[in-house]
Chain A
Amino acid sequence: MLFNSYEFIFAFLPLTLVGFIFISKVNSEKAIAWLVAASLFFYGWWNPYYLVLIIASMIINYSIGYLINKRTTQTHQTKFLLFLGILFNLSLLGYYKYANFFLETAAYIMSSQYHFQQILLPLAISFFTFQQIAFLVDSYKGITKEYKFMHYALFVTFFPQLIAGPIVHHKEMLPQFIDRKNFKFEVNNITIGLIIFAIGLFKKAVLADGIAVHATPAFSAVEIGQQLDFFQSWGGALSYSLQLYFDFSGYTDMAIGGARLFGIKLPLNFHSPYKALNIIEFWRRWHMTLSRFLRDYIYIALGGNRKGKLRRYANLFTTMLLGGLWHGAGWTFVIWGALHGIYLIINHFWHFILKTFKLTFLEKSKIWRGFCWLLTFTAVVVGWVFFRASDFNSALLLLKGMSGYHGFSLPNGIAVQLGALAQLLSSVGMNVSLGGGKDFAMTYIWIIFLLPVALLWPNTQQIMDKFEPSYNKITDNPATTLLGDSLFMHNIKFTFSYGWIFSMSVLLTLGILALSQVSEFLYFQF
């Protein structure tokens, strides 16, 4: 069931909420059981076959966690149990997500014509596997304990975060599950939850889906070998960058808002990443709970920065490579991960240079900061090209177009409107391509409208700041944030006022109107 669907918004969510409110008045444990049942129904909506897998995975992980928790100290036995648990989770993920990829790659290397049967990828497997690995490691370290299966089941399956995160820690959720205060009916929670959900719905259904139609044609064109010129290529790449931004940001808001209806606060997962002035900062803001997982359970486990600079860079690269592979079993994702690994290494090395040669004064210069943003954003967009392209060659073809290799042209329909200016542009090498230019114009209108929203506006958490919308709070670091003190940042703050009633009504109505064009969230495929 999609968050942006009639059945979720008008049936599942209200029924689950009403049931939860009534049952929690009687017994909070039963209310938790109700939420688990609802979450499993939500998960099984796509394919009931998946339910067997997720339930089996929960039982096994819970049992291993239980056995680890029973021992008070770390012993060989607990270590073995942890190893067993991680092996089980990775095997499950490996089989369902990567088996085909590795076998096909092996067959390609050996020039074999063998065709493998496609294994159906169970929804959200990457998310619930990582979440459970984190639970086992935390249990092993004594950070968390769990003795009630129902609590554990809710920690894994809680529907607002089940499909595409945030990837939550058990220690973040359990105290909220057992806090009786959260089971009391609170109009405040319902209102705040609905506001955040409505903002997310608007971002996803109106903005992300609105610009998506301008991203897809460029990627489809290069897939069949078509050469796009500079403006068409950048139009496609920027449209996709903004589609992904609003899609993921919208989903995260809907998850946080949906959880809040039940009195639960989820951790932040998305914090205006395109405002980042360097790539390290970008990863502190994009898919934050995944970054946290990668840092805590891969990067640090590999040795982090404790074993010298070179080893640190190698660890960074490996972590990002695995992060890329986590997103999808395909070489384009591996390249995307590798690219970000290289970006991070360069960024860390640059910080080292800045400190060594005392160049930190540069960070105060507006021009320098503008350059940093442009470089970071361009690097991210180039990465997204690999992330979105169906194969390596089409990604390269689009990047070639973005570099100007395939020339610069304006559609004839626009060129004829420009009159003398068109002649001037022609004299500096601008060509005229066939076509009316409506799509071209609409692509850039969307970009011009959405990019400032991503760069200048406060995000949902900042807008709702007064109402503690999420589990954790993040404050912008002015040194690494683009225009963190813009006028919008100070003036757009939610209050219970008539102005906000009007704004939210428009947003909610537009979001609901956009439900008729149902589309999946991009992060559902991971």
Chain B
Amino acid sequence: MTAHKFLKFWIILSLLILGIVITLNYIIDPYLLYGTKRIEGFNNVKPAAGNVSYQSKIYLAHRLDINALVIGNSRPEMGINPDHAYFKNNHYKLYNLGQRGSSTATQYGYALDILRDKNIKMVMIGVDFIDFITSEENLSHPDQWPPQKSTQDNRRKYKWDGTYNDNYSCQYYKDIYLPLISLSTLQDSLITIFQQNSDASDLLNNGFNPAGDMQKATRTEGVKILFNQKTPQLIRSFTSRKWKIYSSHSLWSPSFNNLQFLLNYLQKNRIETKIFINPYHIQYLEIIEHSGLGPEFTDWKRQLTKMVAAVSKKGDFTLWNFSDPHIYNTEPILNTKKIPLKWFWEPAHYRKELGDLMINRMFSPSLPRDNKNQFGYQLTPENIDRHLADYQKRLKDYQNEYPEEYDFIKAKFLARIKP
């Protein structure tokens, strides 16, 4: 064979293989970028979609016909199920825009993008303490606007002020078409084909993360191991710096600024809004307390209450608190085996079952809204002091009722300060 013939066939075959790969990546659509049909046993489960959800979820939301949104981080992404009967019965086409590991700037920036493009009637905002704590150096300009630029900003059609983002088209084409000719997409396409089971990680078309991987991890390793694994990470996160929720001189922070901007937009456009404080397992709450952040947690709830009350003219904006100790988040973990807890995967993430109860609570008009014995209640400037006092009492009750469980978390802190 001559060099010329070799070169010719080599180029042709390479192009052919490249074409096959592009087609495969498109058909399998491992990141939900192309809206290709999901086929049971072939590409129905998307184990790799969560890895690039920054990229895929916002474009997916733009493509879909939706009229309601869930906003927040990974907690509502895993907990609030858009297929809940309430939404279906009330003609809400809900999309879960929860973004794992995201800042409030990304969460609310993405949300504004969808709000500006779609006719959204109802919004649920899951607010999270960890997204609001910040270090002193970030509080030098607490009312800085617009927020500091991040790489995710290019994925938004609109800037904060509502004008068109010139970088969007370029980023969109890069995000959508580059994965077709990417080795990591090919790898994830193959993983998609070979991991078609309910144990795999997944991302549904409505943005919900069914947490199949958590199910598997619990079954193979056990609940206690997952708690053991997550607890040191949480302790590290909460104690790595001197965290604050706002600047002491202005009682304000960039995250409050971002939330205020979103709330103002929602109010101006008369969109029904439910803000909810995510539930945490009691171990998570104890970590907050032991990290010395209890007062910040209290101030944060106060500030949220004030903000929501200020924008809520006719009770169309409500703030719900699901973070208090309750039977749902005090499940003991020390004697658990390889069966998941009923309401939590690990200290930081609640299950869909608990999310369903939260939806029932927030949308059911028949239940009293300010009953401290109910799981979740509406926080208002009138009842906040009472609830905050009750929170402390509930923590104490838990410590007395489950001394061994409480010692478990205390031991983690002691282990940290050992030389």
Contacts and interface: CB of A to CB of B under 8 A. Distances in A.
Interface of A is mostly: helix
A502 B179 CA distance: 24
A516 B181 contact: yes
Contacts of A497: 1
Interface in A493-516: 496-498, 500-502, 504-506, 508-510, 512-516
A505 B14 contact: yes
B183 A496 contact: no
B181 A512 contact: yes
B181 A501 contact: no
Contacts of A506: 17
A501 B9 contact: yes
Contacts of A194: 7, 10
A416 interface: yes
Interface stretch (A184-192, A227-235, A241-249, A323-331): A184-192
Contacts of A48: none
Contacts of A498: 1, 9
B144 interface: no
A412 B178 CA distance: 37
B221 A436 contact: yes
Interface string B175-186: 000110111101
Contacts of A513: 18, 21, 181-183, 186
Given A496-B5, A514-B183, A517-B182, A501 B18 contact: no
A413 interface: yes
A434 interface: yes
Contacts of B179: 516
Contacts of A512: 14, 18, 181
Contacts of A190: 3, 7
B225 A517 contact: no
Given A501-B10, A504-B10, A517-B183, A413 B220 contact: yes
B181 A191 contact: no
A502 B13 contact: yes
B4 interface: yes
Interface in A438-469: none
Contacts of A435: 229
A206 interface: yes
Interface in B24-68: none
B3 A187 contact: yes
Interface in A176-202: 187-188, 190-192, 194
A500 B186 CA distance: 23
B183 A510 contact: yes
A513 B183 CA distance: 5
> Which of B5, B7, B179 counts the most chain A CB atoms within 10 A?
B7
Interface string A315-339: 0000000000000000000000000
Contacts of B173: none
A510 B225 CA distance: 39
B221 A191 contact: no
Kindly name the residue among A192, A436, A502 whose own CB sees the greatest number of chain B CB atoms within 10 A.
A436
B2 interface: yes
Q: Is the interface of B mostly helix, strand, loop or mixed?
A: helix
Nearest to A510: B183
Interface residues of A, number: 33
A320 B399 CA distance: 63
Contacts of B17: 505-506, 509
B336 interface: no
Contacts of B6: 191, 496, 500-501
B229 to A, nearest CB: 4
B1 A496 contact: yes
Interface string A464-499: 000000000000000000000000000000001110
A416 B221 CA distance: 7
Contacts of B234: none
Contacts of A191: 3-4, 6-7, 10
Contacts of A416: 220-221
B139 interface: no
Nearest to B22: A513
B169 interface: no
B217 interface: yes
B298 interface: no
Contacts of A514: 182-183
B2 A496 contact: yes
B228 interface: yes
A505 B14 CA distance: 5
A187 B186 contact: no
A205 B186 CA distance: 14
Interface string B217-246: 100110001001100100000000000000
A434 B13 contact: no
A171 to B, nearest CB: 29
B150 to A, nearest CB: 20
Given A516-B181, A516-B182, A436 B10 contact: no
B418 to A, nearest CB: 13
Contacts of B3: 187-188, 190-192, 496
A192 B184 CA distance: 28
Most chain B CB inside 10 Å of its own CB: which residue of A192, A412, A510, A513: A513
A148 to B, nearest CB: 32
Given A496-B2, A497-B1, A517 B10 contact: no
A436 B13 CA distance: 40
Contacts of B184: 516-517
Given A206-B183, A496-B5, A412 B221 contact: yes
A514 B184 CA distance: 7
A502 B178 CA distance: 25
A509 B220 contact: no
Nearest to A191: B3
Interface string A344-374: 0000000000000000000000000000000
Given A413-B217, A514-B183, 11 more contacts: A187-B2, A187-B4, A190-B3, A191-B10, A412-B225, A413-B221, A436-B217, A505-B10, A508-B14, A516-B182, A517-B184
25 contacts: A187-B3, A190-B3, A416-B220, A434-B225, A434-B232, A435-B229, A496-B2, A498-B9, A502-B13, A504-B14, A506-B17, A508-B10, A508-B14, A509-B14, A509-B18, A509-B21, A512-B14, A513-B182, A513-B186, A514-B182, A514-B183, A516-B179, A516-B181, A516-B182, A516-B183
Interface of B: 1-7, 9-10, 13-14, 16-18, 21, 178-179, 181-184, 186, 217, 220-221, 225, 228-229, 232
The 4 closest A-B pairs by CB, nearest first: A513-B183, A516-B182, A505-B13, A496-B1
Interface of A: 187-188, 190-192, 194, 205-206, 412-413, 416-417, 434-436, 496-498, 500-502, 504-506, 508-510, 512-517
